[in-house]
Structure 1
C-alpha cells in the first residue's frame, strides 16, 4: 500500500499489543478522527478522508472552471463529465470525486476505505472506459498534477511535508496513466468535442455526442454543395447521386438521412469515436453498382478528387479550421480508402 503502514507496538507484556497506525493518512492527513461532514449536514466523516476529498473537489473545479484558459489542454479528457455538469447532472461528478478520493485514501493508508474501480491503465483508456476521452500524454499529466497542487492550496494545504508524498504517489502511477507519446496528437474525434453528450441542434429534446455534430454538419453540407451544383461545378458527380436526388425531388428524405448518418458514422469511427460504429457496406461494395443499388456508375480518379473538393468547400463554408480540413483530407486520400472507392 503506497504511503501506508501499520505497526504493532508492545507497551507491556500482560495485555494485547495495541495497534499504532503510523500511516501518512493517520499521521499527516488527520486519520480516522470523526468530524462534521460539510457536504452532508448531520453526518460525520473521517478527517483524513475529508481533507483528501476537499483537494479532489477543488482539483476538479479548478480544471472545470479553467480560469484564464490555464487548463485548456485538459478539457477534452473531461468531455463527458463537463457536459453532464452543464446539464445539471452531478452523478458522474460525485462518482469521480468518491473514486479518486478512495484511491488516494487507500494509497495513503486509510483502513476504512478501498478503491474498487478500474485499474489506472484501464481507467484512462477510452476503449475500456466510456467516460474517458483521449489518451493522456506526459505534458497533460504534469498539468493535472499542477491542478492537484492548486486544489490543495485552495484547501490551505501548502506544506511540502504533505504535497511531497502526494506528488510521489501521483508519480508512481504515471506509467499506466500516460498512454500517448509526446509527438502523438490527441485523436481528432476528442478534439472535435468527444463523447460528451450535448443537446442535438437538429433533434430538440435529444442528446448527441459533441464530436459527432461537426462531422454530421460537414457531411450534410457536402451533399448539399454537390446537389445544388452551383455553376455546374459538380456536374460530373450528379450521376452518382441520381437515386438520392430523385428521392429528394419527390420529398423523400429517408435516403438522404441514411447517407448522412452512414458517412458521418464512418468518419467518426475512423477518427477515434468509441461509441459510434459504421455498420454499412465496406467502401468497395458501397461504391460498386453491382452490389449497391443506390450507386449508379463507378467512381473515377477525377470524380473522387472532385468529391474531396466538395468536402473542402463544405468545411470552409462551416468555418472549419484548415488544420482540421487537412487531417480529413489525409483520411480521404489514404491509399486504402481511395483504392476501394475508385473503381473506374
Structure 2
C-alpha cells in the first residue's frame, strides 16, 4: 500500500473512530463513505451532464469520464509525437474516428470510466467488459493490436496523468490512488517482455479499417493494405521486368503473364490476394487467414497447373530481391524489409518452395 493510500485510510479510520465513540454526535455526523469515489471524485451528487444536454450525471462519474476522455484525446492527438509508441494499440479506434465513426470511442470511454468508477467505490456503476488480461490480448479482443510492454504501459499512465491535469485534477491525494489502481492492473495488462517487438502486422498498421483505395465503398485493414501494396508492386516489378533484371523469373509466371496480356486480371488478383493473405497470417494478423495451397504444392507444377517449372535456389533469391524492390517502392522501412526477408528465407519456407 502506497504512502498516499496509507495516509487516507489512517485519516478515515480516525474519523470513523471518533464518530463511533461519541453517541451524542451520531445524528449530526453523516455516514462516512469510505470510497475514493465519494471522498475524492465528487461521489453521487447529481450535476448537469455537459456532454448530454438535459441529462444529469454523478459528479464522481463526470470527473472520471473527463479524465478518460482527456487521456484518449491526449494519445490520439499525439502532439510532438509524445505518444508514438501507443499509436499501434489504438489502430482500430483511430481508424474509426478518422472516418467519422465514434461508437468505438464512446464505448471505450464508457468502459474505462465504469472500471475506474467501480474500482474507486462507486455504487451505481459496474464494469461489465472483458477481463484486463483478455481486453489486452489481440487473440481475444479484435479491437486490440499488439501486446503491451512495461514501457508503453508507463507511457499510458503518463497520458492519464496529463488527462487529469487538463481536467484540473493535480492533487496527489487524487492522482496517487488512481496511479496505484493502474499499477495494480499492470500484471494482467502487460503481456510482452522488454526485449520483444510488437508483431510485424501491428507495426504495419494493424487491424484498423480504412477506405480501400482499390475497391470503392469497401474497407480494408491498414496492415493488410500495406502488405497488398508490396505484393502488387512485387508482381508488377517481375512482370514489367525492366532491363531484363527478372528474365529468369518470367517462365514461372507464363500463365499469369499470358492472362494479363489478354486482358484477364482474375489470376493476377487471386495471386495478390493469396500472397497477401499468406504474409498477413504469418506476421500477426488476427482476422486474416491463408486458405490457399500449401507452399510445396503451390510451387509444384504437378499439383498446381498455374505453375510452370520447379524453382531453383538462385531464382528464389531473385524473387526475394523483387519483394525487396516492391517494398522499397512503397516506402517500407529497411528494418521491416529485413524482417520480411527473414520470413521468406526461413528454412521451412525455402525448403517448401525450392524444388529444383
SS state of the match for residue 47, structure 2?
strand
Confirm whether residue 339 of structure 1 aligns to residue 351 of structure 2: yes
Instruction: Please state which structure has a larger fraction of its residues in helix.
Output: 2
Distance 2:335 2:276 in 1: 19
Distance apart, 1:318 and its partner CA: 2.5
> In the alignment, which of 154, 157, 160 is matched to residue 142 of structure 1?
154
**1:236 alignment partner, SS class:** helix
Match of 1:105 among 108, 117, 123: 117
Match of 1:309 in 2: 321
Alignment of 1:189-204 (within 5 A): 189-204=201-216
Partner of 1:79: 91
- 1:220 equivalenced with 2:232 (yes/no): yes
Asked whether 1:125 is paired with 2:137, we answer yes
Give deviations 1:33-81, integer Å, cap 9, x for gaps.
1111111111111111111000000000110111111111111110110
Match for residue 249 of structure 1?
Answer: 261
1:287 aligned to 286, 299, 303, which one? 299
In the TM superposition, what is the alpha-carbon distance from 1:242 to its structure 2 partner? 1.1
Matches within 5 A, 1:1-344: 20-344=32-356
What's the CA shift for 1:12? Answer: 6.6
Segments of structure 2 that go 5 or more residues without pairing to the other structure are none
Take 1:207 and 1:26, find their aligned partners in 2: how far apart are those partners?
45
3-state SS of 1:117 partner? coil
| Structure 1 alignment gaps of length 5 or more | none
Distance in 2 (alpha carbons) for counterparts of 1:27 and 1:310: 64
What's the CA shift for 1:319?
Answer: 2.7
The CA RMSD over aligned residues, in Å, is 2.1
User: What does the per-residue CA deviation read over 1:98-142, in whole Å, with 9 as the maximum and x for residues that have no partner?
Assistant: 000000000011111100100000000111101111111100000
CA–CA distance in structure 1, aligned partners of residues 196 and 332 of structure 2 = 22
Of 147-156 and 243-252, more deviation after overlay is shown by 243-252
